[in-house]
Structure 1
Amino acid sequence: MILIFIGWAYARHRPVDMTAANRLNIELLSPLLVFSAMTGKNAALGQFWLLIVFATLVILGSGLIAYWVAGRLGLHKIAFSAPQMFTNTGNMGLPLWLFAFGEAHFPAAIAIFILTNLLHFTLGIRLFDRSAPLITVFKTPMVWALIAGLLVQYTLLELPLWLLKPIKMLGDIAIPLMLFSLGVRMAQFKVTRWHAGLIGGLLCPIAGLALAWPLAHFLPSAQAGILLLFGALPPAVLNYLFAEQYEQDPELVAALVVAGTLLALLFIPLALWLGLNTSIGY
Structure 2
Amino acid sequence: MDLLSRIAQVIVPVFLIVAIGWFYGRRARPDMTVFNRITLDVLSPLLVYAALADRSFRLQDHGPLLLGGTLLMLGCGLLAWVVARAFRAQPRSLVPVVMFTNCGNMGLPLALLAFGPEHFGAAVALFSISNLLHFSLGMRITSAHAATRELLLSPLMLATALGFASALTGLRPPAMLLTGMKMLGDAMLPLMLFSLGVRLIALTRSGLALGLLGALARPLAGLAVVWPLVWLLDLQGAARGQLVLFAVLPPAVMQFLLAERYRQEPEKVAAMILLGNALSVLFVPLGLALGL
Q: TM-score, normalised by structure 1?
A: 0.93
Q: Post-superposition shift, 1:48?
A: 1.5
Aligned to 1:81: 95
Aligned to 2:147: 133
- Cα deviation digits, residues 87-143 of structure 1 (max 9, x gap): 101111000011100111111111110011011111111112212233234322122
Give secondary structure in 2 for the equivalent of 1:247: coil
Note if 1:258 corresponds to 2:258: no
Match of 1:226 among 224, 232, 242: 242
Note if 1:246 corresponds to 2:265: no
Q: Post-superposition shift, 1:10?
A: 0.5
Contact between 2:200 and 2:278, CA under 8 Å: does it hold in 1? no
- Shift in CA distance, 158/195, structure 1 to aligned 2, threshold 3 Å: closer
**What does 1:145-160 align with in structure 2 at a 5 Å threshold?**
145-160=159-174
Rounded to whole Å, the distance in 2 between the matches of 1:161 and 1:112 is: 24
Rounded to whole Å, the distance in 2 between the matches of 1:158 and 1:70 is: 45
Q: Post-superposition shift, 1:260?
A: 0.9
Give secondary structure in 2 for the equivalent of 1:171: helix
Aligned to 1:279: none
Rounded to whole Å, the distance in 1 between the matches of 2:111 and 2:274 is: 21
Aligned to 2:25: 11
Rounded to whole Å, the distance in 2 between the matches of 1:185 and 1:104 is: 31
Aligned to 1:54: 68
The gaps in structure 1 that reach 5 residues or longer are 277-282
Rounded to whole Å, the distance in 2 between the matches of 1:138 and 1:252 is: 26
Aligned to 1:66: 80
The gaps in structure 2 that reach 5 residues or longer are 1-14
Instruction: Report the AA paired with residue 199 of structure 1.
Output: L
Note if 1:209 corresponds to 2:209: no
Aligned to 1:111: 125
- Shift in CA distance, 164/205, structure 1 to aligned 2, threshold 3 Å: same
- Shift in CA distance, 210/238, structure 1 to aligned 2, threshold 3 Å: same
Q: Post-superposition shift, 1:44?
A: 2.5
Contact between 2:59 and 2:168, CA under 8 Å: does it hold in 1? no
Contact between 1:191 and 1:254, CA under 8 Å: does it hold in 2? no
Rounded to whole Å, the distance in 1 between the matches of 2:272 and 2:289 is: 24
Give secondary structure in 1 for the equivalent of 2:105: helix
Of the structure 1 ranges 147-156 and 9-18, higher mean CA displacement relative to structure 2 is found in 147-156
